[in-house]
Amino acid sequence: MQASLKAPCPLCREEIDFVYRTENIPYFSDILIISARCSCGFRHSDIMVLSEGEPVQWTLKVGAVEDLNIRVVRGTTGVIEIPEMGISVDPGPACEGAVTNVEGILNSIAEVLENLLETEDGSARERAGELLAEIERVKAGGMEITLVIRDPKGNSGIVSDKAERSHLVADAVPP
């Protein structure tokens, strides 16, 4: 189902269409995709999971180039971790859900690291460069990592037979 709503652009106040579309992610849940674009450059997209489940953890060993195409759904309460790299991406108050793949997750992390290269110096800059090199090795199939997604609301997932799903004890899930 798709619908749209006309509303003023938050930047320039021009009237634009906000498009709402529902989709079903097989073996997962129904989601609501919200998007809008304005000629002034404003863009908005968000994914909302339309159900709430039990606290869950998904774990995926990524070692082959083909693994980069595995679909990943991150709900607004999902924590992404790559233990081998010491990376943890916690959701903030403005966290948007996303449907992407493993490569998309790595590219998002790389974008943050590239910004650090421009703004930081010393050991933080050096570490960002090391992590960027490791991401490139993973993408080339030369380094194995573990992708972990923990979600206290159960709205995140990894859509692959290679992924392991486990139930989290509510007390073990950070708020």
Domain containing 4: what range?
A: 1-51
Length of the chain: 175
Same domain, 35 and 69: no
Beta strands in the chain (DSSP E): 2-8, 15-25, 29-37, 43-49, 56-62, 71-74, 79-82, 87-89, 98-101, 145-151, 157-159, 164-167
Start-end of H helices in 2-146: 102-119, 122-139
Same domain, 107 and 83: yes
How many angstroms separate the CA atoms of 42 and 54, rounded?
35
Give tens-digit pLDDT for 125-164: 999 999 999 999 999 999 999 999 999 988 889 999 999 9
Higher pLDDT, 69 or 157: 69
Same domain, 19 and 73: no
Write down which residue in 51, 70, 86 finishes a domain.
Answer: 51
Overall domain count for the chain: 2
Same domain, 13 and 91: no
Burial of 1 (0-12, 13-18, 19+ CB in 10 A): exposed
Res 173: pLDDT: 47
Contact 156, 44 (CB under 8 A): no
Write the CATH number for 31.
2.20.25.420
Read off the pTM: 0.75
